[in-house]
Amino acid sequence: MLETTSKHEAAPSSLGMQKTQYDIAVEQFQRAADLMKLDENVQEILRKPRRILSINFPVKMDDGRILLYQGFRSQHNNALGPYKGGIRYHPNVTIEEVKALSMWMTWKCAVAGIPFGGAKGGVTVNPKLLSKHELERLSRTFFSLISEIVGPFRDIPAPDVYTDSQTMAWFMDEYSKVDRNNANAVVTGKPIIIGGSLGRDSATGKGVAVTVEEAARHLKIDLKKATCAIQGWGNVGSFAHMFLEEAGVKVVAVSDSKGGIHKKTGLWFNEVAAHKKKNTSLANLPSSENITNEELLELDVDILVPAALEDVITENNARSIKAKLVAEGANGPTTPEADDILFKKGVTLIPDILANSGGVSTSYLEWVQNLQHLWWTAEEVDHRLTAIMKKAFAEVWKTSQEQNVDMRTGAYVYAIGKVRDAMQIRGWV
């Protein structure tokens, strides 16, 4: 079950099978590894997660029924430090998905320059169908069962799709019972009152905005004259909207799962937020035009922020992308084939492992505060996060320019090099 396709074996696509997210993660890794002429022994280690825990566990429903759920935790590599990565609740969670996401977390942490390795977890469940009490029982049971492989110095989970600060509070409390200690540092993304960090909710969107500002500086894009479209107006997309607007960018289109809106004169953040809160969707905002998520991607704008789902920019629509700069707020929104097309078109793409690393970077700051029993102001957290993101962007930009490759490949080369060096100095290879 843990075996994966090596570069010497036929890839799924060549056999007529659809690629999984893990296949794509390995393909992205392999591109950089080939460019680096990476030692084959190092490649073999990095292609596969070190450990995957798969569990089936019962949860008692409010009506007395017992339902069985499946959960996973994939730990990819911890050469640079403890494993780090979110836990998601979604009906489509699979072992292939968490394997891919744990690998991407390894590179994301390495790019950000924070002392973590990569992990990811999830439970195959539709949380919208559970009551709060059922969600709590599911969360506590799942976390108690993975408690043997997590911990403040082993593996530090965080929120992800359909999990939040309340979920992390249940996780922390459950682990504290097992550990017989008030283990604040076992998870990040917690409520402020039990050790959460100020600035954590907006961190990923803030990181997207910082990387856009840095890229614009290199590309000579005047942000005060630039237009932007954001696909996905959830936590990441909405805060990216807010921070980009503060930088002078005119956001002309946004979307959610039900569709999008477009307004050439600009969509103000507060206006969109009020409409979304009142109507639960973005559609039919007065004086704006309703558009589809697909149409949004192809708008004539300077900046495009795909912050919703994976695989939305593909070989089928990449040639129609008109933006000069793409910043990936979501994980895996662009396929490898689309990467090639965009690069040949001269589009600069800030990859997910750089653009959306603000979340894990602020998780690191939360972890540090917990371990040292500190509490930083929002301004201090923002200052530290901005410094982390600017340094990460500079390193990736430098690597991609030196190697004459797209920024994703540059980010991978930079990240893989750091993980390889850590493995070598520790004597793993």
Report the catalytic residues.
120
Beta strand 289-291 pairing with 259-262: antiparallel
User: Within 13 Å of residue 112, how many CA atoms lie on the same side as its CB?
Assistant: 35
Beta strand 325-327 pairing with 303-306: parallel
Per the CB < 8 A criterion, the answer to whether 131 and 62 are in contact is yes
DSSP annotation string for 372-396: HT----HHHHHHHHHHHHHHHHHHH
DSSP state of 17: P
3-state secondary structure of 256: strand
Per the CB < 8 A criterion, the answer to whether 129 and 144 are in contact is no
Residues, the chain, total? 429
Count other C-beta atoms under 10 Å from residue 398's C-beta. Answer: 12
d(CA 224, CA 242): 14
